[in-house]
């Protein structure tokens, strides 16, 4: 079981409030991602759940029981750190065995769980090495192995992939998702990378300055962002925002349209502009269009073979069903 | 970008470094040479000593005959090891607390501790001498262990502090998440990671205590006198005994030199720890 509830949880460091009172429910078996820009309080929130920081106010319940005052060890949670935080003086085997040793798991049971975890994480050949002799990806797998063998009620991941190179990151992302499907254990995952959030999460919690901006499935957030912050944060490249008369035509203070929902043409369209920088990714090209009179730059996704160059004229047409409308406070108008 | 090093430049720096090394090592080398000369030869001009005199081990025999080397040796061992062990016992908890639970004034406390090293020791000689006299600690090994421990304590604490600071906090948090109690955290995680730092601190402190001359000379007479007093006894008002003085010096520095030689890798690592990341 791994149902976690935060009730009016608050955190302040001295006079500085990093997390104003916040409510959040995490269901058993859910993969929840906390996402937000640096310094938004997502790691602090995770550390509050872990028990590594004390709350300033409010209640944290794990499986219905008050865990607010419990030390980390008593909460039945396992954590994977950004720096892996392996014990450098212990072999991989001993690293993985450590939580079981602390819990007094019998020796033969320990052996069994270690070999199971090693097999699942492709670590069997490395069990007798020290962490210093492993690559970044292998170290991360050891850290995950150390978390698995505890059979925790929930896993906490604190930006676990940010020290890995891009290719490895995609692979580990898959592995963690597969692990979640296999174990069906609650996972809370902190990242600043919205791609990780979109691809892995059952539920995304978007945070800014300690405040929950929106909670929902990845597609909910993509299709119906509650405010301009979420609209701009989720999706890559960022949503284009247009204010002024064009927005007023739609009865809004500002409208937003994603790069993939703009159609580009060399002949005709709703808005005329001039191509600035174009980023060729192979399958797609992102055009940065200037001089539209709407916003400084409009980003458009076009086909990889779309033959336009800097300085060329281009016409843009938005998909009318995909226009997001926001009021003066930045909230969504439905 | 690395600067290009031409062969001539390399040769030049090698020669300069060699000369500097020789300059530092020369006194030790000269003592070593003199210790194998007769008293008469040892006061001759340097070039004559090197090329026109014979070699003898008579000074070593004379020194051994006139004073008890092993008594002094054991006093040195007991005083340097004793003060180191006692120093570590005090410094480990102190450095630990400052490294892992730093307060607002931790830096000030560290600076204050170091500042005591800026005071000339002779400034506190009289009070300490009087205290030792009243407590009956003069010329006792216990007294010297205490004094040397206190003299070196700031350095031990500083070294341990920088070591402990290098242990990443996330690893300790991981241990906490893994269910380790404070006791187990200390035994299984912190201590093994801190041992290399403690070892080099210990080595350095043994060397410092072994070579310490001011307090050992001033607070001892016969019973607790370590090797420093053993050397000093050969530069006496009766006259100069260069050869015997040199022989005594070689015998006094040999054990620590050998120890330092075998542990130099550990020592250098300890002294430069944290300087380069």
C-alpha to C-alpha distance for B123 and B128, rounded to whole angstroms: 10
Considering only the beta carbons, identify the residue of B176, B179, B192 that sits closest to A52: B176
Task: Give the pLDDT score at A311.
Answer: 87
Task: Give the pLDDT score at B277.
Answer: 31
Q: What is the pLDDT along chain A (334 residues), one digit of tens a residue?
A: 789 999 999 999 888 889 999 999 999 999 999 999 988 889 999 999 999 999 999 999 999 999 998 999 889 899 999 888 999 889 999 999 999 999 999 999 999 999 999 998 889 999 999 988 898 889 999 999 999 998 899 999 999 988 888 888 888 899 899 999 999 999 999 999 989 999 999 999 999 988 999 999 999 999 999 999 999 999 889 999 999 888 888 889 999 999 999 998 888 888 999 999 888 888 899 999 998 888 889 999 998 887 788 888 999 999 999 999 999 999 998 8
CATH class of the region A4-231 = alpha beta
Contact yes or no for A73 and B192 at CB 8 A: no
C-alpha to C-alpha distance for A17 and A37, rounded to whole angstroms: 17
Asked if residue B95 lies in contact with residue B164, where contact means CB atoms within 8 angstroms, the answer is yes
Contact yes or no for B170 and A82 at CB 8 A: yes
Rounded to two decimals, what is the model's pTM? 0.76
Q: Whose CA is closest to B213, among B225, B202, B200?
A: B225
ipTM value: 0.82
Residues of B in contact with A73 (CB under 8 A): 176-181
Task: Give the pLDDT score at A155.
Answer: 94
C-alpha to C-alpha distance for A86 and B264, rounded to whole angstroms: 29
Q: What is the pLDDT along chain B (277 residues), one digit of tens a residue?
A: 556 678 888 999 999 999 999 999 999 898 899 889 888 888 888 878 787 778 888 888 888 888 888 888 999 999 999 999 999 999 988 998 898 888 889 889 999 988 888 888 888 889 999 999 999 888 888 999 999 999 899 999 998 998 888 888 889 899 999 988 888 988 898 888 888 888 888 888 998 898 888 888 888 887 888 888 888 887 766 567 788 888 888 988 888 888 888 877 776 765 555 443 3
C-alpha to C-alpha distance for B174 and B133, rounded to whole angstroms: 53
C-alpha to C-alpha distance for A269 and A319, rounded to whole angstroms: 11
Residues of B in contact with A146 (CB under 8 A): 174, 178
Question: In 3-state terms, what secondary structure has residue A226?
Answer: coil
Chain A closest-CA separation from residue B167 CA (Å) = 10
Asked if residue A314 lies in contact with residue A289, where contact means CB atoms within 8 angstroms, the answer is yes
Contact yes or no for A83 and B173 at CB 8 A: no
C-alpha to C-alpha distance for B86 and B79, rounded to whole angstroms: 10
C-alpha to C-alpha distance for B95 and B102, rounded to whole angstroms: 10
pLDDT tens for each residue of B22-70: 999 999 898 899 889 888 888 888 878 787 778 888 888 888 888 888 8
Task: Give the pLDDT score at B274.
Answer: 44
Contact yes or no for B176 and A81 at CB 8 A: no
For an interface test with B, which of A43, A44, A70, A81 has the most B Cβ atoms less than 10 Å from its Cβ?
Answer: A81
Q: Whose CA is closest to B176, among A124, A75, A248, A269?
A: A75
Task: Give the pLDDT score at B238.
Answer: 59
Task: Give the pLDDT score at A113.
Answer: 93
Contact yes or no for B175 and A83 at CB 8 A: no
Contact yes or no for B177 and A52 at CB 8 A: yes
Question: In 3-state terms, what secondary structure has residue B95?
Answer: helix
Domain extents in chain A: 4-231, 237-333
Chain A closest-CA separation from residue B176 CA (Å) = 6
Contact yes or no for A73 and B180 at CB 8 A: yes
Domains of chain B plus CATH, in order, are: 7-59 (no CATH), 68-233 (1.10.3720.10)
Cα nearest neighbour of A156 on chain B: B177
Considering only the beta carbons, identify the residue of B178, B192, B193 that sits closest to A102: B178
Chain B closest-CA separation from residue A262 CA (Å) = 46
Residues of B in contact with A150 (CB under 8 A): 178-179
Q: Which residues pair with A318 in a beta bridge?
A: A262
Task: Give the pLDDT score at B236.
Answer: 66
Cα nearest neighbour of A50 on chain B: B177
Residues of A in contact with B184 (CB under 8 A): 102
Chain A closest-CA separation from residue B219 CA (Å) = 44
Q: Which residues pair with A313 in a beta bridge?
A: A274
CATH of A237-333, one of 1.50.10.10, 3.60.150.10, 2.40.50.140, 3.10.105.10: 2.40.50.140
Contact yes or no for A102 and B173 at CB 8 A: no
Chain A closest-CA separation from residue B47 CA (Å) = 55
Q: How many CB atoms lie within 10 A of CB A251?
A: 10
Chain B closest-CA separation from residue A193 CA (Å) = 22
């Amino acid at each position: 079981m791994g149902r976690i509830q935060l009730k009016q949880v608050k955190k302040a460091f001295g006079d500085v409030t990093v997390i104003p009172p916040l409510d959040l429910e995490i269901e058993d078996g859910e993969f929840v991602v906390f996402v937000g820009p640096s310094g938004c309080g997502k790691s602090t929130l995770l550390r509050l759940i872990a028990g590594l920081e004390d709350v300033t106010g409010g209640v944290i319940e794990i499986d219905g029981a008050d865990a607010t005052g419990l030390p980390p060890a008593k909460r039945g949670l396992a954590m994977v750190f950004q720096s892996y935080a392996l014990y450098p003086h212990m072999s991989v085997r001993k690293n993985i065995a450590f939580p079981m040793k602390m819990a007094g798991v019998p020796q033969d049971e320990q052996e069994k769980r270690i070999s199971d975890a090693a097999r699942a994480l492709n670590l069997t050949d490395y069990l007798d090495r020290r962490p210093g002799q492993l690559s970044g990806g292998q170290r991360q797998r050891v850290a995950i192995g150390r978390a698995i063998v505890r059979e925790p009620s929930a896993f906490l991941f604190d930006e676990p992939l940010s020290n890995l190179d891009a290719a490895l990151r995609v692979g580990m992302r898959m592995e963690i998702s597969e692990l979640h499907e296999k174990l069906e254990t609650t996972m809370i995952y902190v990242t600043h990378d919205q791609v990780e959030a979109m691809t892995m999460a059952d539920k995304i919690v978007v945070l800014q300055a300690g405040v929950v901006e929106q909670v929902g499935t990845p597609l909910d957030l993509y299709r119906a962002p509650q405010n301009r912050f979420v609209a701009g944060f989720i999706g890559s490249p960022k949503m284009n925002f247009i204010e002024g008369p064009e927005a007023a035509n739609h009865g809004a203070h500002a409208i937003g349209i994603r790069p993939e929902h703009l159609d580009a043409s060399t002949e005709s369209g709703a808005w005329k502009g001039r191509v600035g920088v174009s980023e060729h990714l192979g399958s797609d090209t992102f055009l940065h269009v200037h001089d539209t009179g709407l916003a400084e730059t409009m980003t458009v996704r076009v086909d990889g073979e779309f033959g336009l160059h800097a300085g060329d004229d281009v016409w843009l047409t938005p998909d009318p069903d995909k226009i997001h409308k926001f009021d003066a406070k930045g909230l969504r108008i439905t | 970008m690395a600067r290009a090093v031409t062969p001539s430049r390399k040769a030049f720096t090698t020669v300069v470094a060699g000369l500097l090394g020789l300059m530092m090592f020369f006194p030790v080398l000269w003592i070593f040479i003199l210790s194998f000369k007769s008293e008469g030869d040892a006061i001759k001009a340097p070039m004559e000593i090197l090329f026109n005199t014979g070699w003898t081990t008579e000074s070593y025999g004379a020194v051994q005959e006139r004073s008890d080397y092993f008594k002094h040796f054991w006093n040195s061992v007991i005083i340097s090891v004793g003060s180191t062990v006692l120093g570590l016992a005090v410094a480990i908890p102190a450095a630990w607390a400052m490294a892992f639970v730093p307060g607002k004034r931790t830096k000030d406390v560290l600076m204050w501790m170091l500042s005591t090293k800026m005071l000339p020791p002779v400034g506190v000689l009289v009070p300490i001498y009087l205290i030792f006299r009243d407590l009956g600690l003069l010329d006792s090994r216990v007294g010297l262990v205490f004094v040397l421990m206190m003299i070196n304590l700031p350095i031990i604490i500083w070294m341990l502090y920088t070591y402990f600071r290098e242990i990443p906090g996330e690893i300790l948090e991981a241990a906490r998440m893994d269910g380790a109690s404070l006791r187990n955290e200390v035994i299984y995680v912190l201590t093994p990671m801190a041992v290399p730092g403690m070892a080099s601190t210990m080595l350095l402190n043994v060397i410092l205590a072994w070579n310490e001359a001011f307090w050992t000379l001033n607070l001892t007479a016969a019973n607790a006198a370590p090797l420093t007093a053993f050397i000093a006894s050969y530069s006496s008002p009766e006259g100069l005994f260069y050869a015997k003085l040199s022989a005594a010096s070689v015998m006094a520095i040999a054990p620590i030199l050998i120890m330092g030689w075998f542990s130099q890798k550990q020592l250098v690592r300890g002294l430069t720890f944290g300087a380069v990341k």
